[in-house]
Chain A
């Protein structure tokens, strides 16, 4: 059985226009497909990944136009529904940014930062991205 792995994702929107996704969420989805047992905690600016309805128009440079723009809310839903990766969002970080719970995609679970230490104890590996 795979080691249980908790992944705290804090870096957000770093190069998503070039990669057309978030490199860490992508990596975890790929590793889950390879037999991993991952859980995600979105904290800091990454809590915004769970806000429904986001997305940028494609980048245009001269006559070159991007056709496959990143959609982070879609990728969070994909983790939850298709990869069976639980996704938590830190409540305090949502509140600091004025993001209401009603704005989030379905399936994400709210978590207080005070509850994080207890969550750590449930995992064999904790990674901070």
Chain B
């Protein structure tokens, strides 16, 4: 299979929607195949890579922090970046600058960057295909 460049636009905020679970699964599958990936994290999705996310215990389940092992999307973003490195692909993960400013989430997982809609425009021009996973 030839290497492709694929762009994804994500919009949902962490912990709000099953859309992101689907998005991370698709990204994982593409990255495992060595494709180059661009992500434009827009609106609520700009918080996916926010580095100050912290796991928490689950008192209803009676589990402490370690036992609950609560997922954070920052860990998942970092795992995608590392997986791309292992598979010979690259990930350009852009967090919408205005979106992170209005949410106060302007501290990112290393390897992701601040950007703008101009990056998304450039991504789509340079990609074999683009998938938008919008907020519904």
- Give the B-binding residues of A (Cβ under 8 A): 13-21, 26, 29-30, 33, 59-64, 66-68
B60 contacts the other chain (Cβ, under 8 Å)?
A: yes
How far does the alpha carbon of A33 sit from the alpha carbon of B60 in the complex, in Å?
9
Contact A61 B69 (CB under 8 A): no
Type the 1/0 row for B23-38, where 1 means its CB is closer than 8 Å to any CB of A.
0110110010000000
Q: How many A-B residue pairs have CB under 8 A?
A: 72
Q: Is the interface of B mostly helix, strand, loop or mixed?
A: helix
Contact A21 B15 (CB under 8 A): no
Size bin of chain B's contact surface: 20 to 34
Q: A60-B28, A61-B24 are in contact. Are A17 and B18 (CB under 8 A)?
A: yes
Contact A18 B83 (CB under 8 A): no
Contact A66 B71 (CB under 8 A): yes
Which stretch, B72-80, B110-118, B124-132, touches the partner chain A? Answer: B72-80
Across the interface, which residues of B come within 8 angstroms of A15, CB to CB?
A: 15-18, 20-21
Cβ 8 A contact of B18, one of A13, A26, A30 = A13
Q: A14-B17, A21-B58 are in contact. List 10 more A-B contacts (CB 8 A).
A: A13-B18, A15-B20, A16-B18, A18-B14, A18-B20, A20-B61, A59-B21, A61-B83, A62-B82, A68-B70
Contact B70 A64 (CB under 8 A): no
Contact B70 A14 (CB under 8 A): no
How far does the alpha carbon of A13 sit from the alpha carbon of B76 in the complex, in Å?
20
Cβ 8 A contact of A20, one of B20, B58, B83 = B58
B101 contacts the other chain (Cβ, under 8 Å)?
A: no
